[in-house]
Amino acid sequence: MIAMTDARLHSPSVARNRDPILAVLRPLLHGARSVLEIASGTGGHVVHFAAALPGVTFQPTDPGGPSRASIDAWVAEGGLGNVRPAVALDVTAPTWPVPGGVDAVICINMIHISPWAATLGLMRGAADAVRPGGLLFLYGPYRRGGAHTADSNAAFDDSLRARNAEWGIRDLEAVAEAAKAEGFGAPQVVAMPANNFSVIFRRAWPASP
């Protein structure tokens, strides 16, 4: 992460992956009006998506004060009217300080750099925030069938666990089970560059009485 001359922070990985992610998100968000982003980081993703999708209102969040300042600075620099001020949000909190009924929740590169409790909190909170039929979009590296999908991911996983024993690349099947437990359907999985995946869950409609 690189600091700019003001509050803005810059992440090189955002510049590499924002366009491939947008290509997946664009058709998914057709007709959407509201998106909640979890762990927005520098703000590089949300400003890129908001500029490309002016009909969608984005609510960025992050637990870190410097990240929230960076998000708001990037939004101001871009003159974007469809991004709300960044909000402090801890995914493990029992309730989230954001409005519910959004069309989508997106979370990019968080699950592998946080404890498993954060993934469970994400699923619980997203189930409350997303309207029936709406979506939860995840992006990042995953193990599949109990194995890494590339040697580079195995090395990355080792480095993550060396930094924090509670971090690590998750099994996609375990993530899908956690989502299912909160009322999401089976995932749609899209292979992405650099051995990453987009994973899309739809929140089920309530059963008819």
Contact 28, 200 (CB under 8 A): yes
Contact 36, 19 (CB under 8 A): no
179 Cβ partners below 8 Å, 6+ apart?
123, 136, 187, 201
Model confidence pLDDT, tens digit, residues 163-205: 999 999 999 999 999 999 999 999 999 999 999 999 999 998 7
What is the reported pLDDT for 81? 97
Pairing status of strand 57-60 against strand 102-108: unpaired
Length of the chain: 209
Average pLDDT over residues 49-76: 96
In 3D space, the residue among 114, 95, 121 whose CA is nearest the CA of residue 181 turns out to be 121
Instruction: Sketch the domain layout of the chain as residue ranges.
Output: 2-202
What is the reported pLDDT for 100? 85
pLDDT interval class at 141 (50, 70, 90): very high
For residues 93 and 101, what is the distance between their CA atoms, to the nearest angstrom? 18
Average pLDDT over residues 108-126: 98
Q: First vs last Cα of the chain: how many Å apart?
A: 51
What is the reported pLDDT for 77? 92
- pLDDT surpassing 70 at residue 148: yes
Could you count the other beta carbons within 10 Å of the beta carbon of residue 5?
5
Average pLDDT over residues 59-75: 96
pLDDT interval class at 131 (50, 70, 90): very high
pLDDT over 90 for what percent of the chain? Answer: 89
Token readout for 36 is: 């909640």
Average pLDDT of the chain is 94
Angstrom CA distances, 104 to 28, 56, 69, 181, stand at 9, 10, 23, 18
What is the reported pLDDT for 208? 54
DSSP-assigned beta bridge partners for residue 21:
none
Could you tell me which CATH class the domain 2-202 is placed in? alpha beta
What is the enclosing helix (H) or strand (E) of 34?
strand 34-38
Pairing status of strand 130-140 against strand 102-108: parallel
For residues 35 and 60, what is the distance between their CA atoms, to the nearest angstrom? 9
What is the reported pLDDT for 2? 46
